[in-house]
Structure 1
Amino acid sequence: MKITIKRKLKNSLLLLFAVSASALAQPKAVRTHQNFDAGWKFHLGHATDFTRDFNFGIGNNLFAKSGETAGTCIAIDYNDKEWTNVRLPHDWVVGLPFQYVKNDDIDSHGYKPVGRLFPENSIGWYRKTFQVAKADSGKRFEIQFDGIYRDSKIWVNGYYVGGHFSGYNSVSFDITDFIRFDKKNALVVRVDATEFEGWFYEGAGIYRHTWLNSYDNVHFKSEGGLFVHAAVDQKDAQVTVETTFENKGLSAATATVQSYLTDRNGKKIASGKELPVNVALRGEASVKDQITLKNAQLWDLDNPYLYKVVSLLKVNGKTIDSVKTRFGVRTFTFSSEKGFFLNGHPMKVQGVSCHQDHAGVGSALPDELQYYRVRLLKEMGVNAYRTTHNPPTPELLDACDSLGMLVMDETRLLTSGKEYEQQLRDLILRDRNHASIFMWSIGNEEYATQRTDIGKRIAQNQLMVQKSLDPTRESTYAANVGNVFKGVNEVIPIRGFNYNLHALDDYHAAHPEQPVIGTEVASTVTTRSIFVKDTVRAYVPDYDVTYPSWASTAETWWQITQKRPWFMGGFAWTGFDYRGEPTPYRWPNINSHFGIMDMCGFPKTVYYYYQSWWTDKDVLHIAPHWNWAGKEGQPIEVWVNTNAQDVELFLNGKSLGKKDMPRNGHLVWTVKYQPGKLTAVAHKNGRVIKSSVETTEAPARIVLTPSKKMMLANGEDATVVNVSVLDKKGREVPDAANLIRFDLRGDAAIIGVGNGDPSSHEPDQCTDGHWQRSLFGGKAQLIIRAGDKADQLTLTATGSGLEKQDLILKQVAGN
């Protein structure tokens, strides 16, 4: 009798679950991932004056009684019509004026008035209202933030749903219990940027994408619910698909899960088994399957082939949840004797470290700008990107996956306290399916910790976390301690060297079993288009000669790398200039000189050194330009970077001598300046290649060069427009400094301007609608974000004494 009752109860529960699941298994119950970037309101608060911070924490205490927020800006019906309309991603700091304060934090963050010294600029409030149909009331709802800088608090309909102090990790919150169906809902976020995390420009605000997700009560976990990795077996690959589920329903759940693979075009090519899943009430369960992929195409830098895996969760044959992701099939090998191998082929890591900000937009980059920047790096010959010193935005990793760029993914801090261990877990769970990631980094230059026993124990913990979540990769740590085998270096699988390259040989000799990579190298400081040191305007010459005491030139580190087969290569500091750290100067500098390209992505001279030896392209570059009025007869140092075998230099047709190009080097001539034409003639593999620089006349005409002329009308797409000027003979004027004004007509918006000048205090964002920027070294840049409707756009550029130019862009319907 007892057994019978139990069976009846069990059958009743299963039937109840089956009916419930069947009802939810209709199309409306399938997982959705809705972009939530549009329709936000923004207002600055105040870090020390509650009357200017919407009385936050005073009077009606928002944490005293759940949901009692009447009369506050968190209330559903608060009148926010005076707030500013914004579209995410949004960085409120980039629009602030530059301000000099003698303070190390302000200096290192690019002289933007944010932080403890500027309470009036350091709190931001965001509001968004939205509706959810009553027909969707059977779903669960989750709000996902890809990045908020910094310490944030989130409310839905007056109910506090959670907070997040990291400025870089993604975070999500289940908001199901707080949703009002068929009524207005209010999502409110308070962002506190009074405290910095790094020593570089970080911005502030909801500066990455936001999403509203919905799914069934029984569903794949949002964090790490799908993990796919592949082992190569000759021509085939064994693809392992690991899925994890959770049950937020009212009873235990019985279901099945099945995964299948598609090619890059979505064609189904292999299927796994349909496996049973039992998930306890409020519990989790995991299932692992293996699928054979015949004749697998390997993901490589030149052929970044991406497959897709789709996993289906079913009840009674009906799909109640599905997830999918892209993945690549490839192998990584790290040898202490022979260096790094990708898919069995030896490869030097030709990498760059990068911060995440860009001219004009700060840290709030449109997705297209991520792809634009990665394309520029690949054009230079870069094959690896280090995400310094924090988790990147997911779209950067998508770009690296799609375009073929290896990634060293770095967490924010080396510490194993609960919060920072969780940050490492979140990073790995979020990013581990990306084909581009070949190595994790558990930290960077932790002076107080890295060479101690505490550092060793922290590292051991973080490494165990990494291996438990992703056994397919290795980790390194960016150590600036030279030939030291203490603390972190005792346990790290791959030793990372930050500079100190003089100690490489001794370290390798003492520890020949440990693979070695340059996690941060070079650090040449140069100012694009400036070839004479200028301590007033804080410029350094655009040659590979100036570097801080801890660093080296590009040529020095690359020659060291090439002579040591066991040294994997490394990551030059940095791919692009960035706001903050204006070494070797301070004010009036507001950004670094470290970049191989400036903040707009315009190449400096050292770019062509790397491109010469990192690519097989025909490279023949002359520096400087040849506009030197007033210096007639004076000596000018001329650098030639090329991968040709020899170069002969001519001035106005007269030979200045022929020289052989040293491998991984450059050539120099000292030339007495005469206006005219300086020409280099080189021989490469039996072919003649030529390049020249020429004295120009005054600027006469504006040229607008877009990264693309067609955008999707989705409110998210973007194009980068580079600006230059030509003289009457059609020659680009390399030292022009004209002020250029921009007017855009059509359903789109200019969202930022820049010119790469590290001492320019012109605004990145022109809030009065009158967009303009001066040329620096003959160049400027603006970024246009698409609108929401198909339209023809006209960008007009004008300048005093210059022929204007109209650029026609098209905006087409699509997602």
Structure 2
Amino acid sequence: MLLKRTALLILAAVLTTATLSAQTPRKHLLLDEGWKFHLGHAADATKDFNFTIANLFSKAGKAGGTAVGPKFDDQAWTGITLPHDWAIALPFENSDNADVMGHGYKPVGGLYPQNSIGWYRKTFVIMPADSGKRVSIQFDGVFRDCQVWLNGFYLGRNESGYVGFEYDITDYIQFRQENVLVVRVDASQYEGWFYEGAGIYRHVWLNQYENLHVASNGVFFQSTVAGRDATIAVQTSVMNDGLAAGQGSVLTYITDRNGKVLVQAAEKPVALAGRSTAVVQQELTIKDARLWSLEDPYLYKVVSVVKQDGHIVDQVRRRLGVRTVTIEAATGLSLNGKRIKIQGVNCHQDHAGVGSAQPDYLHYYRIRRLQELGVNAYRTSHHAPTPELLDACDSLGMLVLDEARLLSSSAEYQDQFRRLIERDRNHPSVFLWSIGNEEGYAQTNSFGKRIALSMLALQHQLDPTRTSTYAADLGNVFPGVNEVIPIRGFNYREKHVVAYHQDHPEQPIVGTEMGSTVTTRGIYAVDSVKGYVPDQDITAPWWASTAEAWWPLAAENDWFMGGFVWTGFDYRGEPTPFQWPNISSHFGIMDVCGFPKNIYYYYQSWWTDKDVLHISPHWNWKGQEGKNIDVWVNSNADQVELFLNGKSLGKKAMPRNRHLQWSVPYRAGTLSAVGTKHGRTIRTQVQTTDAPDVIELSTERTIVLADGRDAAVINVTVKDKRGREVPDAGNLVRFRVQGDARIIGVGNGDPSSHEADQCAPGAWQRSLFNGKCQVIIQSGKTAGAIRLDATSDGLRPAVATIQATATK
């Protein structure tokens, strides 16, 4: 039922644009298809289309003979569809440079000028009938610095790899021939210290609207709940982009999730001089309001309408989740009056196979995997998230700690912080802002204090409904940012949390980064050559801790709000504690594909009410007969008894927020556990398997939209002749897709694999890593069956069929 609901939510999100366009002159059109791409060169102008030696800025619209020019011949360039991350397709390259290592050994950045400039070109048509409208181009995210031109005219530069931006292009549009949009992306300067990708890795939109319209991110609403009713204060910023004065009116109404109008505010007149903005305030009351919660993430719709001369000239729909959030020093977080312990994770934005260029569905897929684990909160580490991620969290019921990229009050970073808040402040999932992370050069001095005060003032001005934290990698240290931050964030240093609380009992505390156990899925010994660490909760860097070192502290103290584990998924870069050949982190509770590690079951035991009984490791240890195997049991049962081939190895009580261990002399067969939970019996087992025999494909989706954007994740395992999954298989699996679809990425969760995530057409393949790998397919635009064939030498093949359905 949950999977069906997820599919419906995605379908509804896709159809929103079409529905809006049918009801209002405003158009919000996806501009992801039909782009041309070519690498440039950061150090050689002759390989960068003469960009740095052509005098492009002496006259408006001067394009010269460069790739900026509308008449430039780009036929030899590669055709691509956005989102696009060119770094993911680059080979891995060993380097002694710490930043290159941190970015996953991809040869992009200042040391690799030949790979660090990307040129994009796109043509589109505006109909003459739209000549009276305003037109803008909206970029949701480009990594990193980019410059944009339309028809040879320079639009501007964006210096953030994460915050979106928008340009009004009305003055540069031509109506009787194609318009040429050009973007030069410069990824030679890193922004973070982890894999960031490169290119236009989020959506691009073409917006059309009348001169009198709702401003971009110009609707902001605040909810007040009293009893069973909710009052929604709606603030609508209306712009007149025309040269002459204009008059109109604004009305706002709220619908339920099915579009039924529930309440409408009185229409308010508005008069604006040319090129001016006015703000209209309205209040609406929802009777017997259904509150947004983790269990029931119900979303209303707020519709803001602008009229002129009695006709609708603009209309904007925004989803509304009515909820109350309170944070108290003594009791932590409450949502709608219900106390909630934060069971959170930090996540970067890359995924196996696709890097940072994720199709929309993949955000839903990842959030669902986290929810199955028991996660209820997500920290966007350490940057503005993709808008579709927040949509997924709104729809599925996941709290979000939304983080600014940098602690800075300069004009540039204040503008980035403003754009982040104005874009995200209506999302009910966002319960808290973060003004920065581990700013070692400023966090303990007067610079940090003053910067924090400036950022907090801006945050409160733009969003008085929330407050902020700051992720400090400090123990019981108060001066600096911690003096003024409303909620103290701890990155690790959990041994100092109690002392800090005793010294500052009035300040709420949240673990912004906790845990950081390093594990490699399916590995049970340190391998410093391949760069693997054991898949148990035993190894952590010096600055961090194991899961069992921090979670009991949070679970057992009401004043400790809970925390965010570093991390939910593995990610490229930061291959702690090793270097090459490691190219990915080991921090994840799941690997980079979303396959669970054993620590997953520790958290699931104490973060959910599910019956959890999990044995590790697997029981394939041929050649080690008689050797003691360290067996872990993760469970929330009251007690557990372990058996080997039917013989009891002892019964143990399960201590809360801990795990159990046995030392078991290996013998092939069946290792089983029987738990007792509230008088009920729960069972599980692991068995010694035979050799791999057959491939098995599994996917949570059997239907996708034939829109050219939708996607499906297909997970690959192998089984023996008795139908048992082989946990240590490493077979190479080849993939072929039939129907209107394409493979966009493969992965296996091996943090030292140098296999290609992006293969040549017709040559898609990936080795299993400890029995698993993953393939991601994306639909085309033709309805019909999509067939994925998986083959491997010596194994019986497998087929997965997915139906692509037409969009309305």
> TM tier, shorter chain?
over 0.9
Match of 1:723 among 716, 719, 723: 716
Distance in structure 2 (CA, Å) of the matches to 1:672 and 1:279: 82
Which residue of 623, 635, 656 corresponds with 1:630? 623
In the TM superposition, residue 494 of structure 1 has moved relative to its aligned partner by 0.6
Q: Separation in 2 of the partners of 1:220 and 1:719?
A: 36
Equivalence for 1:747:
740
CA contact (8 A) 1:253 1:279 kept: yes
Which residue of 2 is the match for residue 139 of structure 1?
Answer: 133
Which residue in 1 is equivalent to 2:223? 230
Deviation of 1:788 after TM superposition, in Å, equals: 1.2
Is 1:149 the counterpart of 2:120? The answer is no
Where does residue 4 of structure 1 map in the other structure?
none
Cα displacement string for residues 411-436 of structure 1 (whole angstroms, at most 9, x for unaligned residues) = 10000000001110000000001010
The corresponding residue for 1:422 is: 415
Query: Does residue 255 of the first structure (1) align with residue 252 of the second (2)?
Result: no
Q: By how many angstroms is 1:57 displaced?
A: 2.1
Residue 412 of structure 2 corresponds to residue 436 of structure 1: no
Figure out how many residues of one structure are paired with residues of the other and give that number: 788
Q: Does residue 1:776 correspond to 2:769, yes or no?
A: yes
Match of 1:111 in 2: 105
- Counterpart pick for 1:200 among 191, 194, 198: 194
1:675 corresponds to 2:707: no
Shift of 1:287: 0.8
Deviation at 1:637, TM superposition (A): 0.3
Deviation, structure 1 residue 800: 0.6
Counterparts in 2 of 1:583-594, with a 5 A limit?
A: 583-594=576-587
Partner of 1:38: 33
CA deviations over 1:399-457 (Å, ceiling 9, x no partner): 00000000000010000000001110000000001010000000000001011111111
The equivalent of 1:57 in structure 2 is: 52
- Partner Cα separation in structure 2 for residue 733 and residue 96 of structure 1: 32
1:283 paired residue among 250, 266, 276:
276
* Deviation, structure 1 residue 29: 7.2
Counterparts of 1:396-795 in structure 2 under 5 Å?
Answer: 396-795=389-788
Are the structure 2 counterparts of residues 768 and 315 from structure 1 closer, same or farther at C-alpha, using a change threshold of 3 Å? Answer: closer
Whether the aligned pair in 1 keeps the contact of 2:56 and 2:64 (CA below 8 Å) is: no
C-alpha distance in 1, partners of 2:64/2:505? 67
Which residue identity does 1:142 align to in structure 2? S
Work out which of the residue numbers 121, 137, 160 in structure 2 matches 1:127.
121
Distance 2:50 2:253 in 1: 53
- Which of 34, 40, 47 aligns to 2:42? It is 47
For 1:666 and 1:640, locate their aligned partners in 2 and report how far apart those are by CA, in whole Å. 6
User: What amino acid sits opposite 2:209 in the alignment?
Assistant: Y
Residue 10 of structure 1 corresponds to none
How far residue 62 of structure 1 moved from its aligned partner, in angstroms, is 1.4
Query: Map of 1:48-87 to 2, 5 A cutoff?
Result: 48-58=43-53, 60-87=54-81
**Distance of 1:699 and 1:766 partners within structure 2:** 25
Q: Which amino acid aligns with 2:727?
A: P
SS at match of 2:88: coil
Q: Distance in 2 between matches of 1:704 and 1:303?
A: 32
Q: What SS does the corresponding residue of 2:350 show, helix, strand or coil?
A: coil
Q: Which residue is equivalent to 2:793? A: 800
| Counterpart for residue 371 of structure 1 | 364
Checking the alignment, whether the CA contact within 8 Å between 1:650 and 1:678 is kept in structure 2 is yes
Is the Cα contact below 8 Å between 1:42 and 1:127 reproduced in 2?
A: yes
Write the distance in 2 (CA, Å) between the matches of 1:303 and 1:27.
30
State which drifts further: 86-95 or 269-278. 269-278
Shift of 1:27: 8.0
Give CA deviations for 1:635-672 in whole Å, capped at 9, x if unaligned: 10000001110100000111000000001110000000
**Who is 2:346 aligned against?**
353
TM-score by length of 1: 0.96
For residues 78 and 338 of structure 2, what CA distance do their matches in structure 1 show? 54
2:236 to 228, 243, 246: 243
SS at match of 2:370: helix
Cα distance in 1 for residues equivalent to 2:292 and 2:358: 27
How big is the shift at 1:563?
1.9
| Structure 2 residue corresponding to 1:292, chosen from 272, 279, 285 | 285
Measured in 2, the distance between the counterparts of 1:442 and 1:572 equals: 19
Contact 2:698 2:716 in 1 (8 A): yes
Structure 2 residue 182 is the aligned partner of structure 1 residue 191: no
Letter in 1 for 2:490: F
Q: Once the 2 structures are TM-superposed, how far is the Cα of residue 707 of structure 1 from its aligned partner?
A: 2.6
Deviations 1:497-525 (A, max 9, x none): 11111111111111111111111111000
Are the counterparts in 1 of residues 569 and 588 from structure 2 also a CA contact under 8 Å? yes
Give the deviation of 1:77 after TM superposition: 2.2
Aligned to 1:212: 206
Deviations 1:571-599 (A, max 9, x none): 00000000000000000000000000000
CA distance in 2, matches of 1:707, 1:396: 19
The corresponding residue for 1:173 is 167
Does the Cα contact within 8 Å between 1:480 and 1:497 map onto a contact in 2?
yes
Q: Which of residues 94, 100, 108 in structure 1 aligns to 2:94?
A: 100
Equivalent residue letter for 2:66? T
Spell out structure 1 runs of 4+ moving beyond 2 A.
26-29
Per the TM alignment, residue 296 of structure 1 is displaced from its structure 2 partner at its CA by 0.4
Q: Report the alpha carbon displacement of residue 768 of structure 1 after superposing the two structures with TM.
A: 4.2
Q: Aligned partners of 2:137 and 2:460: how far apart in 1?
A: 29
- Determine the C-alpha separation between the residues in 2 that align with 1:291 and 1:761: 57
CA–CA distance in 2 between the matches of 1:393 and 1:724? 31
CA distance in 1, matches of 2:429, 2:555: 24
Instruction: Tell me which amino acid in the other structure corresponds to 2:756.
Output: P
The one-letter amino acid of 1:79's match is D
Distance in 1, Cα, partners of 2:34 & 2:700: 27
- Structure 2 contact 344–563 (Cα < 8 Å) conserved: yes
The separation in 2 between residues aligned to 1:682 and 1:247, in whole angstroms, is 68
Larger Rg computed on CA atoms: 1
Contact residue 679 and residue 691 of structure 1 kept, 8 A: yes
Q: Is contact 1:29-1:136 (8 Å) kept?
A: no
- 1:772 Cα shift? 0.1
Q: Which stretch shows the higher mean deviation, 74-83 or 37-46?
A: 74-83
CA distance in 2, matches of 1:457, 1:305: 39
Deviation at 1:789, TM superposition (A): 1.3
**Per-residue deviation, residues 264-284 of structure 1 (Å, max 9, x unmatched):** 111110111111112221111
- Which secondary structure does the structure 2 equivalent of 1:254 belong to? strand
Q: Does 1:273 pair with 2:266? A: yes
- C-alpha spacing 1:671/1:27, structure 2 compared with 1 (3 Å): closer
Partner Cα separation in structure 2 for residue 187 and residue 731 of structure 1: 54
Q: Distance in 2 between matches of 1:32 and 1:170?
A: 19
1:163 deviation in Å?
A: 1.0
8 Å contact kept, 1:76–1:184 = no
The answer as to whether partners of 2:615 and 2:673 remain within 8 angstroms in 1 is yes
| Cα distance in 1 for residues equivalent to 2:156 and 2:703 | 40
Unaligned runs of 5+ in 1: 1-25
Quick check: 1:28–1:136 contact (8 Å CA) kept in 2? no
**Could you state the TM-score of these two structures normalised by the residue count of structure 2?**
0.97
**Which residue of the partner structure matches residue 3 of structure 2?**
none
